[in-house]
Amino acid sequence: RKEVEQDPGPFNVPEGATVAFNCTYSNSASQSFFWYRQDCRKEPKLLMSVYSSGNEDGRFTAQLNRASQYISLLIRDSKLSDSATYLCVVNRDGGSQGNLIFGKGTKLSVKP
Amino acid sequence: DTGVSQNPRHKITKRGQNVTFRCDPISEHNRLYWYRQTLGQGPEFLTYFQNEAQLEKSRLLSDRFSAERPKGSFSTLEIQRTEQGDSAMYLCASSLVLPGTETQYFGPGTRLLVL
């Protein structure tokens, strides 16, 4: 099993749609979880951390299920500017970020 | 610009040559990370420093790869005897580790092409 697995997509959705991405991870020792966003030929940027209780930041909601080792990201009312690759990220060891493991990313394309 | 900077942004070299990349972290960030990203993949961790100490280097891809952070500020990544398979984007990230929190900020990367 790969350390972090994501559906590569692409997800092609119209503006205003709700879209959900899923991710699974294999290391039960991982303690920190994140979603990063990466635009074409740019560096990754932190979108949000993912907490056990679930967390929301505007149109973005992240969920974590430790028992199933599953992370999700929900984007509501999608905008053209949301078009990017979304990277699921976990840390390799317990504790703070440290050594991060990235998934391959899920590509999202929002169309007018 | 007070973000992470990397130089050069692009490097084309011939197989067998040595290359060195530089990363300047955000001022006062105590951790510095190096990653490699190939097309269609997420970034792959290589090594990291806490101040000047290299805390993890077992994931450097081969003994041709080495990194330094001599004064705990900027860092260099060197690849000796480059191979075509080394062609990739090399990303640097820095962070300030505080109790219970750490966020890595990435630089724009150095894109390497080995001919």
Which pLDDT band holds residue A59 (cuts at 50, 70, 90)?
A: very high
pLDDT at A16 over 90: yes
Q: What is the pLDDT of residue A91?
A: 85
Across the range A25-50, mean pLDDT stands at 92
| Closest CA–CA distance from residue A32 to any residue of chain B (Å) | 10
Cβ distance of B42 and A43 shorter than 8 Å: no
Q: How far is CA B55 from the centre of its chain?
A: 14
B86: left (phi over 0), alpha (psi -120 to 50) or beta: alpha
Between B38 and A28, the higher pLDDT residue: B38
- Judge whether B69 and B32 are in contact, CB under 8 Å: yes
pLDDT band at A97 (very low <50, low <70, confident <90, very high): low
Q: Which tokens belong to B1?
A: 């610009």
pLDDT score of A28: 86
Mutation for testing the A interface, residue in B59, B91, B106 having most A CBs under 10 Å:
B106
Higher pLDDT: A4 or B58? It is A4
Q: Write out residues in chain B with pLDDT < 50, as ranges.
A: none
Model pLDDT for residues B56-72, shown as the tens digit of each residue: 887 888 899 999 998 88
A49: CB partners within 8 A, 6+ apart: A32, A33, A34, A55, A62
Task: Provide the pLDDT for residue B19.
Answer: 98
Residues 6+ apart with CB under 8 A from A58: none
**Residue A77 — left, alpha, or beta (φ > 0 → left; ψ -120 to 50 → alpha)?**
left
